[in-house]
Structure 1
Amino acid sequence: MIFAIEEINNSTELLPGIKLGYHIYDACGSVPVAVHVAFQISNGLDPVFYTGDNCSQSGMVMAVIGESESSPSISMSRIIGPFNIPQVSYFATCACLSDKQQYSNFFRTVPSDQFQAEALAKLVKHFGWTWIGAVRSDSDYGNNGMATFLEAARKEGICVEYSESFYRNHPRSRIRRIADVIRRSTATVVVAFTSPVDLSLLLEELSLVPSSPRQWIGSESWVTAPDLLKFNFCAGAIGFGIQKSVIPGLRDFLLDLSPSKVAASPVLTEFWEDAFNCRLGESAAIDKILCDGTEDIKTLHSPYTDTSQLRITNMVYKAVYAITHAIHNTFSEIKYLFFSCSPSLFSLISSLQVLTQLKEVNFTQNGYDVSFDANGDPVARYELVNWQKSESGSIELVTVGQYDESLPVGQKFQINQNLTWVDGGTQVPVSVCTDSCPPGTRKLLQKGKPICCYDCIPCPEGEISNATDSPDCFPCPKEFWPNEERDTCLPKPVEFLSYNEVLGIILAAFSVGGACLAIITAAVFYCHKNSPIVRANNSELSFLLLFSLTLCFLCSLTFIGAPSEWSCMLRHTAFGITFVLCMSCVLGKTIVVLMAFRATLPGSNVMKWFGPPQQRMTVVSFTLIQVLICTIWLVLSPPFPMKNLTTNKERIILECALGSAVGFWAVLGYIGLLAVFCFVLAVLARKLPDNFNEAKLITFSMLIFCAVWITFIPAYLSSPGKFTVAVEIFAILASSFGLILCIFTPKCFIILFRPEKNTKKYLMNKN
């Protein structure tokens, strides 16, 4: 500050002909002392200015630079604010000081903790740390800064295992307890919003009992403090620091210390005696030797002579120049109003005018822009600082990135070079309460714990999660199903009874084989159409029955393959009509047997009422009824192909919807009605006295037919997927084989292998 004021007083551009005076107070890190100073300033007590200089308006305070901590700054602002004395702090970062309703006179050249807290939360999130510990100074700086950080961290999904506060004057037991909390914690990352003095006490306590290494994340207050670099176990610490700068001429000014200058300043005297371990004059400690005048500050290696890490120093430099520019602009306005350049006009300047001009300050000094927003804050710019071990083993501050609040979203935070982590490692440490949930699982929060502590449970059936740490699983679309890992939805396999699978091939083979058997039987009958056994069993109806059985066998082929609109309508109607035709033929044959027996009775002429024309009409009539039922079904609500997504969740079953269930069961019911009628008539005719009684064969065939279709109904209703179609085909084939084997096999056996029985005498039982 002294360097900047002397530089300004020697300047011809700022306040020409006017010199600035100053007085330095030491608040000793104490709020009461800072309050006492604030009252002195506001009371207008005459402070000591430049010794020997004649200063006009002695004691007139235009502005205050300070304090370095937030709590004293708050107290001072409340006292000097009503007097409109502007206050510019170089290191008070509490976001609460941006409230112009309470602190209308407060400005600062250091960024507000509001920006730093948000930047720290983004930094923690950037490295994937969701489980952290937090310590803070029990002061306005620590409490407000940590509160802002925790709110920003919550928005980023970061959880805090513990949050502890302490202060330098607290009992040692409290600091020891906080150290134990850190040692026992599972969080490997610790965010510290503390002053250097407070953190030094905690680190000293932690160094007494070594524990597992911790990754420290620091606020600008301590992360660039040289005195803390001695704690080697904090190597790898990262945090945001105030930007480094170069102040031309400052180093030469610091090194230009003569014994006379030192003796004239109590502060410099204390520094000189401490640096060279000697005493100046009689006021010095008696346990030290007298300084002999050979002491050379240029040979001294201390923070005083090290100007390579000018961070807060530059904030003081900016503060002095900001106030000077405000005074200069105020003075320029007065000169313009009074048309005079006399320095005596300076007496007309008030602190309120300086306060007003300070709000409008906007200049560049040493390449750095200086201005204040509506809250009295500068543009937030930080350096990302990393504590890295040098080859000698000492810790050095290395700038590894930047944060600039003025840049667009997504470009504010940049990392330019590699970082070293806790214990000098190169791998980013892990600090999570629970390992990430892989895709295919979802997070289930653990009861009574923060949201970062959860269990990973697999997604339920039919649902997936395709992202890490997914809070929910979501269902696949209707025609998709999860893979085994349940992280991707795959198209469901389509299922239908195909000609390419074993079951389809077997059923198709039996279907074709049955049709061939019917054709061969018809050929045998045709070749022996004039034989007694063929003629005695109504050859016309037999051939029609064999034809209908052939169609029954072949219609089962329409049930195999992918359903289409035409195949769905064809399979059910063809099945219904061909089976009714078959049943009509069997019914006709049964009636013929009964009528033939009645015709042998004396005086009976019943056969003339049921001759071949009547038999044909019976078959046609019964069949036309089924044709009418099928036609109504197809017109009103025909079967149609559909994708069954409910029977099997993992597959799409292609099947034919019935359209109208009434139509389907009407077709089956009509077939069943004819079958029962045939069965009853066949039972009545089974004991007729012919040697070859066809009624017995019809009885067995109808018994098989009815048994098959009675068991078909529950099997059809309970079979899943393509097996529903397979059951229907099996019922068709089983009943068809039952008819052809029971009715025609005995006859073919006699025709081919027992021709001696194929005689009229044998058939009439007259041998």
Structure 2
Amino acid sequence: MYTAAMNIFSGMDTGIPNYSCKTSGPLGAVIEGISADQSIEFSSLSRIYHYPQISYISGNLVMSDTVKFPYFYRTVPSELHLCAGIVKVLKHFGWTWVGILASNDENSMRAVQILKKEIEQSGGCIEFIETFSQSTLLFLQNIDNISNTIITSSTKVIILYCNRDYTEHIRYTNILEAPGKVWIITAEWLFIIPSYNVNRKNTLAFTVGRKNIPSFHKFVREVNPALFPSDLLIETWWKDLCNHQCPKSIQRSCSSDETSDYLLHCDIVNSANSYNVYSAVYALAHALHDMISSRSGNTNPWSGESESVLGFVPWKLHRYLRNLHFKTVLGEDIFFDENGDLTIGYDIINSVFLPNGTRSNDIVGSYNPYAPLEEDFTINERAIMWEDLFSQAPPQSRCSPSCLPGFRKLTREGKALCCYDCIRCSEGEVSNQTDMDTCITCPEDQWPNQKRDACIPKVITFLSYEESLGITLTFIIIFFFLITAVTLGIFINYQGTPIVKANNRGLSYILLISLMLCFLCSLIFIGRPEKVTCILRQIVFGITFSISLSSVLAKTITVVMAFQAIKPGNKLRKWMGSRVSNSIVFSCSLLQTLLCLIWLCTAPPFPYLNMRSETGTILIECNEGSIVAFYCVLGYLGFLAGTSFIVALLARNLPDSFNEAKYITFSMLVFCSVWVSFIPTYLSTKGKYMVAVEIFAILASSAGLLGCIFLPKCYIILLRPERNSRKYLTKT
């Protein structure tokens, strides 16, 4: 390489450093098509002499460094863009599980690291990275391991990254023939150089964007080989154009002894390299034209030719190459970017060997890093031919199947991020896209649907009059209300009879009316909770029940006082009027009213949307506000009931044929049993059933008072009138 470079710079077959013996004009620049490694070696000499170097093959990543390679230009994109294009293809098809086979040269290893980083950043994973050497011996030693890795791998997509120098090894192996694999290739020479096996399919290759050079095919077809007598390959190339499989535009009509089955040169003519050479030559020509024109100061570039040629200094040409900008006859803008790379992109080729032995290299997409963001990548899936082994087209390459909406990914311990299990979203969470890493928590007023792929509004629920439970409770309430009203009517109708007069007739009326209100207050607990109804529920319930229990307590005290007052000389006789009993009812009820007012002034009950109590529902319920006040009200009712129970229990054996204390004892026993069992039941239920439990407690305790105290009296009034006499009541 160094000898050849010195020969070019000196102009002699035997290059002598720093010596020039040119019989023609001065050397302006070097256009080369050597490999990446050789291009770097050549550049180490050319930059000493400041000669521009234009490559039409090397996309070496390292050579984009303008500090190390200030005089290097190329008519191909940097392979950094090639890596980005490969990642674009992987993302388009959703291929997240890939393998990489690469040559072990410095450029390919650097590209593999870039590929690995970009694939992982885009959510993909690499199953394996296999490398091979340019050394034939080392390659043959490792070929079995490479082949076994490819065949046994679970990935369906393999990236082959190598330059032209390494394709000689690959094309004579069966590596590319592994079934059920899609190959993404970065070396166009794998298409140009024939393979022993013509069944290769599912190959996508990145090639430098090509254009049809005007009149180029005509030139190839009609050029006379005699013009190049010193080139030994011309005869072979000329004969190759006789092959009937060559494109019609360059195919020659030849005699039978000239025919050839070798397609190498037919493919070279149609390869992107031809257009790259064309671009390199015209770029240099335009740069020289601009330089000479500026030196001569004349619109005719050759008017000052002698002066320009004699005063030519190679490094001055860089200014014009850097600022180069012209349009080709195809209307394409040609200019170099800040790294000395031509601003062109890649074509994506789908190479398929057809049953008739011909090969189809169709352009199915493109990637241009210099195009606008939304227009830089295109691909036509319908134009790609896939192998019949694939169950679907395009094939899928994933370590794990996609997690459908409603599921999330759970990475397997010790495995790559792309290897995961799909688990269903937790309660209250959804995933509305495939392959979500985490599920989304629904808003509080929404809940996942059955598939857990969307949030839907929660069902609003409360104890309503329309549902069966509400209707049943309403009928029970009305039934007991009517029973109480009938009982009150009976007592009013028979108010003059001894049994009604006994134990204070006025207290009986107050008790029956308060029980009617207790039954009616249960209706406030049914229906949609509002601010007013939430306040009325507990307040009306607390006050009406305190009136009922105060009346029961007053009746119990009246019984005790009545038996004590009949004793001679007892001073309680003067307290036997209705004033004392009414005072007991009033004072006890007033104290409960004060407790309720304090409750309203501090933390009154309010409607509350309970979104967490029941799955998928919004419970509209009344929050007690102050739980302390709520239990104080209940505790006060319990105190009244307990006091009445104790007093009635002590007076139950007083001599009388109709001792009301016995019935009060039973009624208080029922009342206390209901409310003692109510508290744990109330705390263990949720939503509308909590309300139903409270209604049941109100109805059961009220019905207990009604039944135990008034049912025996109604029985005597209606069915045993002979016992409703003063004589019978006073009988011991």
TM-score, scaled relative to structure 1 = 0.86
Q: What residue is the counterpart of 2:179 in the other structure?
A: 212
Residue 378 of structure 1 aligns with which residue?
342
Letter matched to residue 418 of structure 1: R
The SS at the match of 1:386 is strand
* Paired residue secondary structure (1:423): coil
**Selected match of 1:193 from 154, 161, 165:** 161
- Aligned pairs (5 A) from 1:604-683: 604-683=570-649
TM-superposed CA distance for 1:103, in Å, is 0.8
Q: Does 1:397 align with 2:361?
A: yes
**Structure 1 residue aligned with 2:321:** 358
Moved more, 71-80 or 485-494: 485-494
- CA distance 1:689–1:359, shift in 2 (3 Å): same
* TM-superposed deviation, 1:211: 4.1
Q: Which amino acid aligns with 1:167?
A: S
Are 1:125 and 1:156, in contact at CA under 8 Å, matched by a contact in 2? yes
Match of 1:558 in 2: 524
Amino acid at match of 2:598: I
Structure 2: which amino acid aligns with 1:652? I
Decide whether aligned partners of structure 1 residues 401 and 569 sit closer, same or farther in structure 2, where only a CA change above 3 A counts.
same
The one-letter code sitting in structure 2 at the alignment partner of 1:737 is: A
Check the 8 A contact 1:234/1:422 in 2, yes or no: no
User: Do the aligned residues in 2 keep the contact of 1:137 with 1:194 (CA within 8 Å)?
Assistant: yes
**Deviation at 1:265?**
3.7
Matches within 5 A, 1:230-245: 231-245=197-211
Aligned residues of 2:335 and 2:342 also touching (Cα < 8 A): yes
SS in 2 for 1:380: coil
* Residues 494/254 of structure 1: CA separation in 2 closer, same or farther (3 Å cut): closer
Moved more, 714-723 or 547-556: 714-723
Aligned-pair CA distance for 1:689:
1.0
Query: Which secondary structure state, in structure 1, belongs to the residue aligned with residue 645 of structure 2?
Result: helix
**1:547 Cα deviation (Å)?**
0.9
Aligned CA distance change for structure 1 residues 342 and 405 (closer, same or farther; 3 Å): closer
Match of 1:35 in 2: 2
| Residue 420 (structure 1) aligned to one of 384, 387, 405 | 384
Contact 1:515 1:553 in 2 (8 A): yes
**Structure 1 residues 266 and 668, CA gap change in structure 2 (3 angstroms):** closer
1:95 CA drift (Å): 2.1
Q: Which residue of 311, 314, 319 maps to 2:280?
A: 319
Q: Is the 8 A contact 2:35 2:164 kept in 1?
A: no
Structure 1 Cα separation of the partners of residues 51 and 87 of structure 2:
35
Tell me, yes or no, if the aligned pair for 1:421 and 1:428 is still in contact at 8 Å: no
Deviation at 1:200, TM superposition (A): 5.0
Residue of 545, 567, 584 corresponding to 1:579 = 545
Measured in 1, the distance between the counterparts of 2:598 and 2:209 equals 90
Q: Which moved more, 1:101-110 or 1:620-629?
A: 620-629
Give, in angstroms, the shift of residue 147 of structure 1.
3.3
Q: Any residues of structure 2 matched to 1:739-750 within 5 Å, and which?
A: 739-750=705-716
The residue identity in structure 2 corresponding to 1:695 is A
1:306: Cα distance to partner? 6.4
Q: How does 1:468-547 map to 2 (within 5 A)?
A: 468-547=434-513
- Number of residue-to-residue matches in the alignment: 709
Provide Cα deviations, 1:97-154, integer angstroms capped at 9, x if missing partner. Answer: 1111111111111122122221121012111111111112222443333333333323
Distance in 2 separating the partners of 1:267 and 1:347: 36
How many angstroms does 1:58 deviate by? Answer: 4.6
171-180 vs 259-268, which deviates more? 259-268
RMSD, aligned α-carbons: 3.0
The match for 2:121 is 155
Question: Is the 1:257–1:297 contact (alpha carbons within 8 Å) kept by the matching residues of 2?
Answer: no
Q: Distance in 1 between matches of 2:580 and 2:476?
A: 35
CA gap 1:227/1:569 in 2 versus in 1, 3 angstroms = same
In structure 1, what residue type is equivalent to 2:273? I
Q: Shift in Å at residue 437 of structure 1?
A: 0.7
AA partner of residue 187 (structure 1): T
Amino acid corresponding to residue 216 of structure 1 in structure 2: W
Q: Measure how far apart 1:565 and its partner are.
A: 1.0
Amino acid at match of 2:320: Q
Task: Indicate the larger mover: 524-533 or 256-265.
Answer: 256-265
Q: Which runs of 5+ in 1 are unaligned?
A: 1-33, 50-54, 277-292
SS at match of 1:471: coil
Q: Secondary structure at the match of 2:174?
A: helix
| 2:248 paired residue number | none
Contact kept, 8 Å, 1:69 with 1:141, in 2: the verdict is no
Q: Which residue of 1 aligns with 2:296?
A: 335
Residue identity in the other structure for 1:384: I
Instruction: Give the AA of the match of 2:116.
Output: L
Instruction: Give distance in 2, aligned partners of 1:694 and 1:260.
Output: 141
Contact 1:389 1:395 in 2 (8 A): yes
Residue equivalent to 1:464:
430
CA deviation after TM superposition for structure 1 residue 574, in Å? 0.9
Alpha-carbon separation, structure 2, partners of 1:757 and 1:344: 151
Q: CA deviation at 1:400?
A: 2.3
Q: How far apart, in 2, do the equivalents of 1:521 and 1:634 lie?
A: 34
Distance change >3 Å, CA 95–CA 530, structure 1 → 2 = same
For residue 414 of structure 1, give the secondary structure of its aligned residue in structure 2: strand
2:152 maps to what in 1?
Answer: 184
Q: Secondary structure at the match of 2:621?
A: strand
- In the TM superposition, residue 229 of structure 1 has moved relative to its aligned partner by 6.3
2:604 and 2:626 in contact (8 A); partners too? yes
Q: Deviations over 1:74-108 (max 9, x none)?
A: 11111221210111111011122111111111111
User: Superposition pairs for residues 69-108 of structure 1, below 5 Å?
Assistant: 69-108=35-74
Amino acid at match of 2:3: H
Q: Secondary structure at the match of 2:350?
A: strand
Provide the secondary structure at the position in 2 that maps to 1:205: coil
- Gaps in structure 2 of 5+ consecutive residues: 16-20, 243-253
Counterpart residue number, 1:130: 96
Q: How many angstroms does 1:230 deviate by?
A: 5.9
Residues 366 and 229 (structure 1), Cα distance of their counterparts in 2 relative to 1, 3 Å cut: farther
Counterpart position of 2:669: 703
For residue 616 of structure 1, report the CA deviation from its aligned partner: 1.9
* CA offset digits 1:264-322 (Å, max 9, x no partner): 4445467679999xxxxxxxxxxxxxxxx999979997544667614201211222232
**Could you tell me how far apart the structure 2 residues matched to 1:234 and 1:566 are?**
81
Contact 1:233 1:423 in 2 (8 A): no
Conserved in 1, the CA contact under 8 Å of 2:240 and 2:259?
no
Choose 127-136 or 534-543, whichever is displaced more.
534-543
Would the alpha carbon gap of residues 194 and 478 (structure 1) be closer, same or farther in structure 2, given more than 3 Å must change? same
Q: Structure 2-normalised TM-score?
A: 0.90
How many percent of aligned residue pairs carry the same amino acid?
38
Deviation string 1:493-519 (CA, Å, 9 cap, x unpaired) is 223222222322232222211111111
Rate the CA distance shift 1:560–1:422 in 2: closer, same or farther, 3 A: same
Whether contact under 8 Å (1:246, 1:310) holds in the other structure is no
In structure 2, distance between residues paired with 1:342 and 1:618: 131
> Who is 2:247 aligned against?
none
Query: Whole-Å Cα distance in 2 between the matches of residues 444 and 587 of structure 1?
Result: 67
Between 697-706 and 244-253, report the one with greater CA deviation: 244-253
C-alpha contact (below 8 Å) 1:712/1:731 kept by paired residues: yes
Q: 3-state DSSP class of the match of 1:410?
A: helix
Cα pair 2:207 2:348 within 8 Å, conserved: yes
How far 1:682 moved relative to its partner? 0.9
User: What secondary structure sits across from 1:119 in the alignment?
Assistant: helix
Paired residues of 1:194 and 1:221 also in contact (CA < 8 A): no
Label 1:688 to 1:663 Cα distance change in 2 as closer, same or farther (>3 A): same
In structure 2, relative to structure 1, the CA distance for the partners of 1:181 and 1:207 (3 Å cut) is: closer
Aligned to 2:397: 431
User: For residues 445-486 of structure 1, what are the alpha-carbon distances to aligned partners after superposition, in whole Å with 9 as ceiling and x for unaligned?
Assistant: 222222211111111222111111111112111222222222
Q: Distance in 2 between matches of 1:454 and 1:442?
A: 9
